[in-house]
Amino acid sequence: MSELSVHHVVHSPLNLRGLGSNFKRTEVPLLRQGLVFIAYKRRKKPEEKSTTKNFLLPRHTRQKYIVTFSGNCWFVAGAATLATSDKALFERVVPPDQDFDASYAGAFRFNFWWYGTWTEVIVDDYLPTDGRELIYCHNRERPDELWPPLLEKAYAKLRGCYEALDGGQMKDAMVDLTGGISEVISLEDKDKVNYELYDLLVCSFSMKSMLGASISRPVGSTESEVGMSNGLYMGHAYSITGFQQLKTSKSVVRLMRLRNPWGRGEWNGAWSDNSREMQSLPSDIRAEMDARSVDEGEFWMSFEDFVKNFQEIQLCHLQIDAMVEELRDNQNKQNWNVMVYHDEWIRGVTAGGRCNPPNERLYWSNPQFYLNLSKTDTVLSSRGECTIIISLMKKETDKNALIAIGFDVYRLRKPDLRPLNERRAPENTLDMAKTSGNYECYREVTKRMVLPPGHYVIIPSTYLPNEEAKFMLRIFTEKFANSSVMEEKPDMSPILSPKDFVYDLFNKIAGSDSMLDAAELQTFLSAVSEEGGQHVA
């Protein structure tokens, strides 16, 4: 049931050029039921839409005007962030050696990091339109650039249909586009937001981490996005594309640049394009900040206004060092030891839920993973400690989207006495070492921990028992660490259920012939009623 991933498989690209223009078209359904929305939203091939077609335009146009009219702003925001990131990262997902030139084959290929493996997805070039225009993701400024809608189609194919992209987390899109590790910073409690958060975001951004932010949708709203008087939208995700600190006569202003994936709709408060604050800056500073008085979807705002209006920051760390404060300013990047496991929660078998009454006995049936931290950090700490980052990723399906997940970490006294169960846990464990925090309905839950050397067990679980889902567990350590699945081992004194007690008592009295005579039967029944009453009850 459990499997240790040793290698990440990279699929070899299909030789599309050898196909000519005879690639067999495979439909990507709009809805999970395979229905079209309405008749006029039919697909058209790019050559039916325009006489000029380009797969990929020069790099400077990639980040402009990528828009969407469905509920997939989370994916479009992630794709737009990728387009403005490192060229090698972008071209790993969107191979540039394909176009509408003489080698056109009627199909295009894209690569996604899908639960631990880089997976190639091939799609034809039929795209959803309203009869005249593309209806989903596209470059509004240059509609002849077609990698955005084709990438979106490939991602919809990977997830099953376009409807599967309706609603999601921007960090999940960024992980699927990079293979990075996600992190969520909540801004719900404004009074607890650390003043140093801005510096953390700047350092993560400088280390190529991809950043985004979202505003929660109002409770009870029937609209996917709700406009606000300040120009922002609730129920919407934005890319974070830059930082700037300006010295004024009174203080230093900490600014953030954000981008609406629609390519329109901007913040209209302080430091927006036409604000008094922005217009008071010298023209050369405004040019350096690329602040223009046009509605292009990109805008500046102060960090303080950002915290007031947004509820969540979503990050995808391409270099895991960005999650570790000690390494953010260190140019000598750390090589991490990575362990990857694939497992699942199965109803009635390994889906024990969290360790809370009345289901605490079931908790120990969850999958358990042993970790031996024997070597202390030399880069991250000089205090004889071990840095560990744990990522738990639920493999999403239509049925488990609302399943909340989390994990606990216990330190073991007796590492050979495993896996933990109701009897062994008090004998074998110290207090809980760490926890992932509140259970969340996110696809991925990540936690950075600093632990003393020792033997540990990691127990991932769902919030409620008997909730089924497959998952991937990633463990990052500075030094090599031994790990394994905590499989059941023979135990000389197992916990006996009523059935086990009666069975063992029968074998003891019956002997090798497995039969009871009259005297043995009387002895057996007496023992069950008198000595075994506590078990039977």
Catalytic residues: 73, 236, 260
Residue whose C-alpha is closest to residue 239's, from 112, 82, 87, 446: 82
Query: Which residues pair with residue 186 across a beta bridge?
Result: 312
Q: How far apart are CA 114 and CA 110, in angstroms?
A: 12
Contact (CB, 8 A) for 49 and 129:
yes
b/e sequence 124-159, b meaning 16+ C-beta within 10 Å? bbbbbbeeeebbbbbbbebbbbbbbbbbbbbbbbbb
Sign of CA dihedral 131, 137, 139, 145: negative
| Helix spans in 111-228 (H) | 147-159, 170-178, 197-206
381's tokens? 């700490």
Q: What are phi and psi of 227, to 5 degrees?
A: -70, 145
Other C-beta atoms closer than 10 Å to the C-beta of 272 total 20
Say if CB 272 and CB 305 are below 8 A apart: no
Alpha helices in 59-146 (DSSP H): 73-83, 87-93
**Interstrand relation of 337-345 and 469-477 (parallel, antiparallel or unpaired):** antiparallel
Peptide bond into 128 cis (omega under 30): no
Backbone angles phi, psi at 205, to 5 degrees: -65, -40
Helix (H) or strand (E) holding 110: strand 107-114
Find the helix or strand (DSSP H, E) in which 213 lies.
strand 210-215
Element (H, E) at 108: strand 107-114
Contact criterion met (CB below 8 Å) for 368 and 457: yes
Residues 104, 124: contact at Cβ < 8 Å?
Answer: no
On whether the CB atoms of residues 147 and 141 are closer than 8 A, the answer is: no
Compute the C-alpha angle 45/47/48, nearest 5°: 70
Q: Shortest CA distance to 419 belongs to which of 489, 360, 471?
A: 489
